[in-house]
Amino acid sequence: MDDLSHFCCQNQDCPDYGKRGLGNLTVCMRYGQHQRRLLYCRTCKDRFSERKGTPLFDSRLPEHKVVEVLHHVAEGVGVRKTSRLVGVSKDTVVRYSLRAGEHAQQLHDELVAFSPSDPRSAV
């Protein structure tokens, strides 16, 4: 069994945000080469990575938005186009690009391996 007692919901709009040991979290999948866990909160039905202290978790954007932003940026899509495609402001795109900095490529490689939207590509 996974011990999730040290984790808490990362969704600031969730009633259980920041509270540990409530049993509201489950592991819904593992992803990436390090098999990081994607956690699911039963209270708000949000999903998030167990990872902390990265640019992703210093953010108010939902993770999937951040992933999309960084993905586009890493693919060389311009700021304006990225903002339009993802549906966030240009400022946000710039902010996350800068924040990710040198980690962008690494982050991108890892996040691209995380593609729950296409079950056919699952191994």
Q: Which is nearer to Zn ion, 16 or 50 (CB)?
A: 16
Tell whether residue 4 is a contact of Zn ion (CB under 5 A). no
> Would you say 41 or 67 has its CB closer to Zn ion?
41
Q: In angstroms, what is the minimal distance from the CB of 8 to Zn ion?
A: 8
Q: Could you say which of 8, 9, 38, 104 contacts Zn ion (CB under 5 A)?
A: 9
Whole-angstrom Cα distance, residue 54 to residue 91?
19
Residue nearer to Zn ion on the CB measure, 13 or 118: 13
Q: What is the DSSP string of 2-60?
A: ---TT-BB--TTSTTBT-BSSS-EEEEEEETTTTEEEEEETTT--EEES--SSGGGS-S
Closest approach of Cβ 93 to Zn ion, in Å?
A: 26
* Alpha-carbon gap, residue 54 to 109, rounded angstroms: 15
**Residue 93 binds Zn ion (CB under 5 A):** no
Element housing 107 (H / E):
helix 104-112
Which positions touch Zn ion (CB under 5 A)?
A: 9, 11, 14, 16, 41, 43-44
